[in-house]
Amino acid sequence: MTTLSHSLPAAHDSAPVELLRRRLPWALLALLAVAFGLVPWLGNDYWLNAILIPFLVLSLAGLGLNLLTGYTGQTSVGAAGFMAVGAFATYGLLLRVPGLPLPLALAGGGAIAAGVGFLFGIPSNRIKGFYLMVTTLAAQFFLEWVFTKFPWFYNYASSGTISAPRLEVFGHDLHSPTGRYLLTLSCVVLLTWVAVNLVRSQTGRNWMAIRDMDTAAAVIGIPVDRYKRLAFAVSSFYLGVAGALWAFAYLGTASAGSFDINRSFQILFIIIIGGMGSIAGNFVGAAFISLLPLLLNYAGQNLLGGSVDAGQLQNLQKIIFGVLIIAFLIKEPEGLIRLLGNLRERLARWPLRF
């Protein structure tokens, strides 16, 4: 088993040295057709509201963090803080700029989050590794504090919560679960497509060079500081859009407490478990983090419900979930996406071994 995994190429994307052969990605197109056409038609409220929308938003947030941590190598534990900026900025734009269409408000919220991310990325010029991580931790607590402390951000609501004033695109009301699902899906697909191209472009190659060794990157003439700040800004843009979707398309309401440090850790775990430096890994990681607890919950309820004390059952699920995470990471430290890749390689040669 161990010899096997060493023989495969690295899971995370290495900077490509040869041009890829262009082919139409049929499987991808089919998946998109199902996601856009079949799912809204088949899915019920439970699937859309409680499973697919949070899964998609978490995938997008993972993608945002992965651009920074997985591709540029700057560890951040402030992801939720930038999500909060996106959510509150989108809310503020919708509220205070009359007639602003929702897509522009989302983009605006993302842009403001990008600006804030850029600011908090400035220390990355001077500090690295764990020390930089601590500054992102500071960003997390600072941003949470800002959105609690100043009532202007939540329009002086007595409870400190914000809720989407209107969700409509070109006259279509998006309040139904299907509408919110399609809004989320469109954003995720569009931004994923941009990310795929971005990491393949010169920018992405520079980021990966910085990740692999920033001294070497500087020696070959890559402006390291600028590209690090750019990574912070782009990552925050993605996180900002994800935050706005989390608040308005998923929860329907949010407060600073919806974006606490636990959310940051959740997103960090998504990319660690899914696979650092991989676009697809975010989706796998988000599925693992958001769907597996549900599956365990249903399994627990059906297999043991009634016979085991309800509190013990809940704790048992937490234990199993934790054990699974540890088991998967021991089996494959490079994430689930690598594990799936290995499986695919092996299936392609089955029943032969290599």
Partner 1 sequence: MRKSLRRSIAGALLALGASSALPVTAQAAANEQFFPLATYRVGAYASSGIPVWAGMIDYLRYINEVEGGINGVKLVWQECETEWTAEKGIECYERFKNGLNGAPVAVYQPNGAPAAYALADKAAADKIPLITLGYGRTEATDGSVFPYNFPVMLTFYSEASAVVNYIAEREGGFDKLKGKKIATVYHDSAYGRETQGPLALLAEKYGFENLQIPVADPGNEQSAQWRQVRQAKPDWVFLRTWGVSTPVAIKTAARFGFPVERIVGDIWASSDEDVLPAGEAGKGYLALTPYPGGAGFEIHRKIKEHILDKGKSDLKDPKSFGSVYYNSGLVNAAIAVEAIRAGQAKFGQRPLTGDEGRWGLEHLNVDEARLKAIGFAGLMQPLRLSCSDHEGGGAAKVQQWDGAKWNLLTDWVQADRQTLRPLIEAKAAAYAKEKGVTPRDCRAEQ
Among residues 8, 15, 40, 51, which is the contact residue for partner 1, using CB under 8 A? 51
Q: Residue 219: how many CA atoms within 13 Å on its side-chain side? A: 4
Residues 6+ apart with CB under 8 A from 345: 8
Should residue 239 be labelled a site residue for partner 1 when binding is judged by CB under 8 A?
no
CB contact at 8 A, 117 and 230: no
- Residue 323 burial (CB count, 10 A): 10
Least distance to partner 1 from the beta carbon of 222, Å? Answer: 21
Among residues 165, 223, 322, 333, which is the contact residue for partner 1, using CB under 8 A? 165
Least distance to partner 1 from the beta carbon of 219, Å? Answer: 27
Residues 6+ apart with CB under 8 A from 45: 177
Residues 6+ apart with CB under 8 A from 226: none
Q: Binding segment for partner 1 among 72-80, 158-166, 209-217, 234-242 (CB under 8 A)?
A: 158-166
Least distance to partner 1 from the beta carbon of 179, Å? Answer: 12
What track of x and - describes contact with partner 1 for positions 250 through 279 (by CB under 8 A)?
Answer: xxxx-x-xx-x-----------------xx
CB contact at 8 A, 263 and 62: no
Nearer to partner 1, 31 or 219 (CB): 31
Should residue 336 be labelled a site residue for partner 1 when binding is judged by CB under 8 A?
yes
Should residue 50 be labelled a site residue for partner 1 when binding is judged by CB under 8 A?
yes
Should residue 178 be labelled a site residue for partner 1 when binding is judged by CB under 8 A?
no
Residues 6+ apart with CB under 8 A from 291: 51, 55
CB contact at 8 A, 235 and 86: no
Write down the number of H helices and E strands in the chain.
16, 4
**Spatial CA neighbour of 68 closest among 264, 288, 257, 276:** 276
Q: Looking at residues 179 to 218 of the shown chain, list those that interact with partner 1 (rule: CB under 8 A).
A: 196, 199-200
Among residues 4, 134, 213, 310, which is the contact residue for partner 1, using CB under 8 A? 310
Task: Give the footprint of partner 1 on this chain (CB under 8 A).
Answer: 13, 20, 23, 25, 27-28, 31, 45-46, 49-51, 54, 145, 148, 158-161, 163, 165-166, 175, 196, 199-200, 250-253, 255, 257-258, 260, 278-281, 283-284, 287, 291, 294-295, 297-298, 301-302, 305, 309-311, 314-315, 318, 336-337, 340-341, 344
